[in-house]
Amino acid sequence: MTPSVLLSDPEKRIEAEAAGAVEAAPELQLRIRGLRKSYPGRGLVLDGIELDVFKGEAVALIGSNGCGKSTLLRCSLRLIEPDEAETSFLGHEVQNLRRSALRKLRAKVGFVFQKHNLVLRSSVLTNVIHGSFARMPGFQVWSQATAPKHIREEAMYCLQRVGLAHLAASRADRLSGGESQRVALARALMQRPQFLMADEPVASLDPRVGDEVMDLLLGLTRQEDLTLLYVSHNLDHALKFADRIVGIQKGQVRLNAPANTLSTSALRELYGASDDG
């Protein structure tokens, strides 16, 4: 480990880096400590989760059904209030944030859902434009008709990134599953996020399209220099599309290792005893 004095003093650090003495330490973007969450009638779902995610990493979160992965993602942004947690996210102490500051933090995190969650009766372009809600006065970006030109252009660019510019004018309920998840991804990009979170992003897609979407998700993470934290039940995906795999069992982190040191059979052990019921 590099001595911390060296890292905290910028001048010394630059010198040291120039001399090749230290590698630039990656920035810790998400740090969760002592996360506990119970639901009424369900008891403790998460019982002291500790998790670190560094800038530029892709981390896969795995664990059996009901072990609390979705709860963990949501608690990190307080979309669900945890019972207890110390979370530092992109430099914010999440537990201390007021409503408006929390909204600003959430805006920096692109969240992709299993159900895609597009507004079905609106156009693809409108859906992507919604990604700019946090930085635009709301009424301007309610729909494509009212959005200023530079926003529409940026949305088109985001659609290009996911290869769907030609569908901008289609209605969202006319899309295939893969297309619709890619639109959701474009919407997340429109947020100009620093961090991407995804909860089973390809669970409703067929294997081929699922691979494509994962490829795209990881590709964009790399190109845009983002950080990715996603939940998956597909162990091959976890191994292939992540730098690190974190496994949850009985409310705690039971596995935390670089993906290239793991194998499917090692991961299967996590699913030995079900957390369900």
Is residue 254 within 8 Å of residue 47, measured between CB atoms? no
Residue 84, beta-bridge partner list: 36
Rg (CA), the chain: 20
Among 121, 149, 150, 208, binds other proteins (CB under 8 A): 121
**What is the total count of residues that contact other proteins (CB under 8 A)?**
30
Is residue 70 a contact point for Mg ion (CB under 5 A)?
A: yes
Tokens coding 241: 């599309």
Helix (H, G, I), strand (E, B) or coil at 197: strand
CA gap 122, 203 in Å, rounded: 24
DSSP-derived letter for residue 11 is H
Is residue 230 within 8 Å of residue 30, measured between CB atoms? no
- Build a one-symbol-per-residue string for 140-159: x at contacts with other proteins by CB under 8 A, - elsewhere: -xxx----------------
Question: Of the listed pieces 37-45, 156-164, 183-191, 251-259, which binds other proteins according to CB under 8 A?
Answer: 183-191
- Build a one-symbol-per-residue string for 87-116: x at contacts with other proteins by CB under 8 A, - elsewhere: ----------------xx-xx-x-x-x-xx
Is residue 203 within 8 Å of residue 34, measured between CB atoms? no
215-274 residues in contact with Mg ion (CB under 5 A) are none
H/E element, 46 = strand 43-54
- Residue 129's CB is within 10 A of a number of other CB atoms, namely 29
What residues line the site for ligand ATP (CB under 6 A)?
A: 39, 42, 45, 63, 65-71
Among 71, 76, 181, 191, binds other proteins (CB under 8 A): 191
Is residue 79 a contact point for other proteins (CB under 8 A)?
A: yes
Find the shortest distance in angstroms from Cβ 109 to Mg ion.
17
Enumerate binding residues for other proteins (CB under 8 A).
77, 79, 103-104, 106-107, 109, 111, 113, 115-122, 126, 130-131, 133-134, 138-139, 141-143, 184, 187, 191
